[in-house]
Amino acid sequence: MRANGAPAHGVALLTFPLSPKGLRSATDMTITIALTGSIGSGKSEVASLFQRWGAAIVDSDVLAREVVKPGSLGLRRVIQHFGDKFLLADGTLDRKRLGNHIFNNPSQRLTLEGILHPLIQERSQQEISQACKAGVKLVVCVIPLLFESGRDLSQFSAIVLVRAPEELLIQRVMARDGISKELALAKLSAQMPQEQKATRATHIIDNAGSPADLERASRPIFDSLVAQAAR
């Protein structure tokens, strides 16, 4: 699904052709949105703000770790396919080794995604349903690779993109993860360019300033999404 016309900058777009009700049922007032952005753009910061203001957060990175925890079906399938060299001594998945293995290997990456994505989506639907039942107005699914993963966008009432100039993304990722400029750049280059993401978003939050600027840019978008839930 694509936004109707240009995405909103700083202020919310009031009409767009994504599912206008998201996962809302006749009896509740919850809308489900996706929050995405390139590595280091500030998704986690925006998710924290939205959570502080009352949203429920469903984080696909957290779920991705959960579906391969020891004893899980996900871990069993991953090890069946990739081998037990990807198990650490304590029985947990060696995520770093697996990450390196698939980084330059597209077919292995697809296989891994084929195992994990359905499990992550199932868990995410469970969390969304729980939030709906609890009467939360806004459920925010944080999905870093929303567009790259080919996920069905029609389940979301809005798609919020957080973005920042590339040099800033690289600086932030280097500082946060303690990695080299080359590695930060390689990670960023493996993702869809921000300009392409921007054409698919319904709302854009620019995060080129201070944390206070980010909070100021995020609030009107949060308010309009909550207002949309109440309609």
Q: How far is CA 91 from CA 63, 65, 97, 109, in A?
A: 18, 14, 14, 22
For the CB of residue 117, give the shortest distance to ligand ADP in the complex, in Å.
20
Residue in the structure block whose two tokens are 């009896």:
27
Pairing of the two strands 158-163 and 56-59: unpaired
- What part of residues 26-45 is at the interface with ligand ADP (CB under 6 A)? 37, 39-45
Specify the residue, 7 or 144, whose C-beta has the smaller distance to ligand ADP: 144
- Backbone torsions φ then ψ of 202, nearest 5 degrees: -95, -25
Other Cβ atoms less than 10 A from the Cβ of 170: the count is: 21
Other Cβ atoms less than 10 A from the Cβ of 97: the count is: 13
Segment lying near ligand ADP (by CB under 6 A), choices 112-120, 145-153, 210-218, 221-229: 210-218
Segment lying near ligand ADP (by CB under 6 A), choices 81-89, 117-125, 128-136, 202-210: 202-210
User: Binding residue for ligand ADP (CB under 6 A) from 157, 194, 207, 218?
Assistant: 207
165 contacts ligand ADP (rule: CB under 6 A): no
Question: Where does this chain bind ligand ADP (CB under 6 A)?
Answer: 37, 39-45, 172, 176, 207, 209-211, 214
